[in-house]
Amino acid sequence: MVAAIVAVSLLDAAGQTETHRRMDRVNQGPDQVAVKGYDPVGYHEGWAQKGKPQFVQAYKGVRYQFSSEDHLRMFRDDPERYEPACGGWCATAMLEGKKVDINPKRFRKIGGKIYLFSGGFLGDALKTWDRLAEDEGEQALAERADARWRRILNQ
């Protein structure tokens, strides 16, 4: 009985550690909302739309906003599917293991996951991604960015 309680306590502590690590590493604004408050489900439907504060859901310590109750429900049913790749950081920068903020209107769906990109005054990371993909292939780039993100997440 005591061994079971200790095992559960260790699992809880490990889960809390993972949650805290994710919270520290996922791209969140000062309001503690990921993806700059944009609806992660909407990206899968092909559009970028700001979520509404009345539709908020946390997943492993990270808060997301949604544009509708339907999108909130869809996320609750399958958060792994809708959570952005690379912790919501720019996928092009992640190829080098760098956490660079995003323009939430710059995204691409690759292999069922959403990859976000920086873009604006300093350049367009999505265009850079596209140039790299001509040589390496988009799926290979996504896999490389994902591997770098996993290393950052597990540090």
Instruction: Output 141 or 3, whichever has higher pLDDT.
Output: 141
Residue with tokens 């988009």: 138
In degrees and rounded to multiples of 5, residue 77 shows phi and psi of -70, -25
Question: Is residue 154 over pLDDT 90?
Answer: no
**In the chain, how many H helices and how many E strands?**
7, 6
Predicted TM-score (pTM) above 0.75: yes
Give the number of other CB atoms < 10 A from CB of residue 41. 23
| Count of residues making up the chain | 155
pLDDT of residue 24: 77
> Helix, strand, coil proportions of the chain in percent (round to 5)?
50, 25, 25
Kindly report the average pLDDT of the chain as a whole number.
88
3-state class (DSSP) for residue 66: strand
Residue pLDDT, tens place only, 54-80: 999 999 989 999 999 999 999 999 999
Question: Is residue 112 over pLDDT 60?
Answer: yes
